[in-house]
A and B are shown apart, each in its own frame.
Chain A
Amino acid sequence: MAYFIVRRMMIVLLTLWVASIIIFAMLQIIPGDPAQLMLGINATDDAVAALREQLGLNAPLFERYINWMSGMLIGDFGYSYTYGTAVGNLIAERITVSLPLALIALALSTLIAIPVGIFTASRRGTATDTSAMAITQIGIAIPNFWFAILLVYVFAITLRLVPAGGFPGWETGLWPALKSLLLPAIALALPQAAILSRVTRSALLETMAEDYIRTARAKGLPARRVLWHHALRNAFIPVLTILGLQFAFLLAGTIIIENVFYLPGLGRLIFQSIQRLDLMVVQSVVVLLVASVIFINFLVDLAYAWADPRLRRQG
């Protein structure tokens, strides 16, 4: 088990490192001079050169990469000239929107999907099952941002139950803040829940066809107990895989959803920084998002090993 964790961690670090190089390299090819862009077309060549120097853009590529990485390692994410503040502060501020949003959406989709999956699997072939599956089939096909627009139209514009967008900040109180995250979270969660409940159902049904289920039935256990005690934990593995992938999906989804709802989160930050060519912000936020995906997948790997004793011995 210890070797398993060590090996997985080494892979995590390696993946992170390669990912950071890719991100860094990609942003180097952005056409246009960030210093020029920040200062506007009327800036003098001297001013641009000075800013370039200040931004560290004149150093060789390799040195810039090292500077950036070593800064990241001690928690220094650099300085954003367009926002006039440390990138670290910027991220700390924006993450208070994005992280709760992603977590609420993930919790919501899991809480809906797993029971639906189990329920439909245990009633396979009934009218309930068929109609629930038809709904999920449509749910998968719905683009979440379109769903978001629709929610805004119904609940914000027509019914005026919640704000159509924007974020009042946590300091205005828990409820107003949560209220403005509610629609975005639902818009993110429901299409994900559709996928997850289908996966849960089919994983359960697949496990229910295994030989050991028959062994358990031959012991005299009723079908329902076999489902809960034998099939569920085995079906957990494909469900976990999808949960891990969904986290990445949700993160990406926030980029668009935050734009629909004008939420000041990380997604919107990336979006705006790309348009302003604020490389420092873009590369740091992207690395942060990628790192969190990698970290989540690492957790999923550990959960696999918990769920399946056969994996504990392998690397």
Chain B
Amino acid sequence: MSPPILNIKDLSLTIGETKILHDIDLQLEHGQIAGIVGESGSGKSLTALSVMQLLPNASRTGGTIEFNGQNLLTLDENAMCALRGNEIGMVFQEPMTALNPVKTIGEQIREGIRWHTNASRAQAEERARSMLDRVGLPPSQYPLERYPHELSGGQRQRVVIAIATALNPKILIADEPTTALDVVLQAQILDLLKELVADNDMALILISHDLGVVADVADTITIMRKGVVEEAGSAVKVLKEQKHPYTAQLAEASIHMPAWQNRKKPASPEPLLEVSNLSKIYRGRRTGVFSHAPDFTAVDDVSFDIAAGRSIGLVGRSGCGKSTLARMVLGLSKPSNGKILFDNKTTTALDDTTMRASRRHMQVVFQDPYGSFNPRKTVEWLVAEPLFLEDEKLTRHQKQERIAAALNEVGLSADAMKKYPHEFSGGQRQRIAIARALITRPKLIVADEPVSALDVSIRAQVLDLLAKLNDDLGIAFLFITHDLSVARAITHEVMVMDKGKIVERGQTGDILDNPQMRPTQRLVEATPDLQQAIKRRSTAK
């Protein structure tokens, strides 16, 4: 066997006073794909940045990173500059900010080519054009003169990939390249990376928080946690045997199905929420004195209902209108057309006094466990906020009891009340958000991507909690998610939304296993499926 192209031995990293990485080992063979999987804080991104020597200031490294017989950790900056982009390319997580907004995409691809080779301007331009074509942006449609803001997130990520691979580097490092994209784009970008690596004999380090993403493509998998390698080995072996308990835990968490008694319970006949012919049209932006950009129909003539106690998933790609629909249901945004009946009362009036009762029985949980609390208020104040909707004034004592009960319901003790949100972890905050939604004893909770910002193991716990709430309290859910595995875990039925319309609805299992409509099929195909991947790969060998 030839020596590995990249050999990381005993890599340690200290930033300031904090030790971040402990004795990381990782070997990358020529032309292979190495997956690094870990939850937030595992040190996977910093491992990649150590290879690039693009670490934050005040970083100190130890150990060796051997590439082409050189130790990258001891190379001087000039030598590193010669390697970066030329021998080692890197793709980052956030395509929206990864490109310089004031330079055309052509300039940005050309720049690296011209810097490393003595290509003429014309040659570099030719190369840039063929790279764009290679990453799926044919220059006839996407000329080099485009600016980044004229491209979507997926397209920008393709440009970043074109920049990173323009000079056929020996190693490509992709740090969560698809996390900011929806599943369909994710599948496309992963395919693109796979092809590029195979065609050009590149080695790839693919970093992800999602075992499912890596499972399908990686030759080796390294599982990291808190700056330590927990398990490493060939992908098939790691996935199949799941020898290390943490690997098993990650694998379980990403396909977690909560024990949910109501899962098989038939729907009750009485509708709780009836939405009919709902539309939301945004006026186009003014582009001239008399001209507007065309109007944008975010939600297009949507009708559905939710029975009491049912959990309904609303799934779709990003930008399909699912969040807009949720906001209209919550009365936070005024529909352009249509009607919403909640508890047999119309809520489209958006009149605060008539909305009070509806609002009390319909609460909300948002995605971002950091942005959903006012950082200056105590948990007590925050959880009690919806009590503003109660008709009779509660005494301080009654209030405290209600808060304690709600916190108890989500598995937090009453002494959390006096603390501030920043003292809690992401998962705990999401529990507090749920407690806030529970305090008015609602009949429906609208949950907008409530688990997508959480690490998989935390996600599993929150799903368990939501299942328990449905079992114990009979709360109905309108569960908005882009992640089909979440929909599978916690919903009775799913509605699939595409371009503002609901294209398909049915029992969750039926829809996900046997999708009828094209948008649904696309979503299902694109969703990484860990179990399928394990099965496929272990039979292949």
Contacts and interface: CB of A to CB of B under 8 A. Distances in A.
Interface of A: 3, 6, 210-212, 214-223, 225, 229-230, 233-234, 307-310, 313-315
Contacts, number: 85
Interface string B129-167: 000000000000000000101000000000010011000
B83 interface: yes
B119 interface: no
A6 B289 CA distance: 9
B102 A211 contact: no
Contact of B103 (A218, A220, A230): A230
Interface stretch (B109-117, B225-233, B313-321, B379-387): B109-117
B90 A218 contact: yes
Nearest to B96: A211
A274 to B, nearest CB: 41
Contact of A212 (B90, B97, B288): B97
Contacts of B103: 230, 233
B75 interface: no
Nearest to B163: A219
Nearest to A229: B111
A219 B52 CA distance: 10
A212 B99 CA distance: 5
B98 interface: yes
A222 B82 CA distance: 9
B348 interface: no
- Identify the 10 closest CB pairs spanning chains A and B, nearest first: A220-B85, A219-B112, A220-B84, A219-B85, A211-B97, A218-B90, A212-B100, A309-B147, A310-B149, A3-B288
B2 interface: no
B54 interface: yes
Interface residues of B, number: 36
14 contacts: A3-B288, A6-B289, A216-B108, A218-B164, A220-B84, A222-B77, A222-B81, A230-B100, A233-B103, A234-B101, A309-B101, A309-B102, A310-B149, A314-B285
Contacts of A218: 52, 54, 84-85, 89-90, 92, 164
Given A3-B287, A234-B100, A220 B115 contact: yes
Contact of A233 (B78, B102, B160, B286): B102
* Secondary structure type dominating chain A contacts: helix
Contacts of B99: 212, 215
Contacts of B288: 3
B506 to A, nearest CB: 41
B529 interface: no
B94 interface: yes
B147 A219 contact: no
A215 B89 CA distance: 10
B86 interface: yes
A214 B92 contact: yes
Contacts of A220: 81-86, 112, 115-116
